Amino acid sequence: MFDLSRQGSVFVLTMNAGENRFNRTSVAAINAALDEVEKERGASALVTTGTGKFYSNGLDLDWIGSSECTDRPAFIVDVQRLLARVLAFPRPIVAAANGHVFAAGAMLLLAHDFAVMRSDRGFFCLPEVDIGIPFSNGMTALIASKLPQPVFHEACTTGKRYGGEDAARLGIVAEAASEADVLPRAVARAAELAAKDRSTLAAIKRVLYASAIAALESGI
The tens digit of pLDDT for each residue in 108-130 reads 999 999 999 999 999 999 999 99
Residue 135 CA from chain centroid, whole number: 16
d(CA 133, CA 58): 12
pTM, entire model: 0.97
Chain segment 129-170, per-residue pLDDT in tens: 999 999 999 999 999 999 999 999 999 999 999 999 999 999
Statement: residue 1 has pLDDT above 90:
no
Chain segment 165-185, per-residue pLDDT in tens: 999 999 999 999 999 999 999
d(CA 202, CA 196): 10
d(CA 21, CA 61): 8
Confidence of residue 16 (pLDDT cuts 50, 70, 90): very high
Statement: residue 77 has pLDDT above 90:
yes
Q: Is 91 exposed, middle or buried (0-12, 13-18, 19+ CB in 10 A)?
A: buried
**Residue-range domains of the chain with CATH:** 2-218 (3.90.226.10)
Statement: residue 91 has pLDDT above 90:
yes
Statement: residue 93 has pLDDT above 90:
yes
Model pLDDT, residue 219: 85
